Amino acid sequence: MVLYGLKTCDTCRKALKSLAEARFVDVRSDGVPKDVLERAHGQFGAALLNTRSTTWRGLSETERARPPLDLLVDHPTLMKRPLIENDGQLTLGWGADVQAALGVG
């Protein structure tokens, strides 16, 4: 299991605490592998972009109009988090539905 997130994100820290066996990947320093981003975008579409983030608010209208995958490659902190890869399956966020799907909580 791999948890993609930010070490400074409270939600990511909660998820990591509950998923002690997960390997943590800090997207700010390590990024997200392109194939994982492509699969996540295919599964979650526009929901993968965090349009309420500070990073998003700092982008110009021209930058915001770029394809989501290009934005995520250049600005990995735009990704909603955590993105969890477990046995090839992807989940996004740390809501009750994700916790139930992972058998936590």
Structure tokens at 77: 């902190």
Structure tokens at 20: 């002690």
What domain range is 57 assigned to?
A: 2-101
The DSSP bridge pattern shows strands 2-5 and 23-26 to be: parallel
> Catalytic residue at 9?
yes
Of 68, 25, 75, residue with least CA distance to 44: 68
Q: What is the pTM of this model?
A: 0.92
Question: Which CATH number goes with the domain that contains 51?
Answer: 3.40.30.10
pLDDT score, position 90: 97
pLDDT score, position 105: 67
Mean pLDDT computed over every residue of the chain: 94
Q: Which of 3, 4, 5, 9 is catalytic?
A: 9
Radius of gyration over alpha carbons of the chain, in Å?
Answer: 13
Total domain count, the chain: 1
Side-chain-side CA neighbours of 85 within 13 Å: the count stands at 16
Residue 66, helix vs strand vs coil: coil
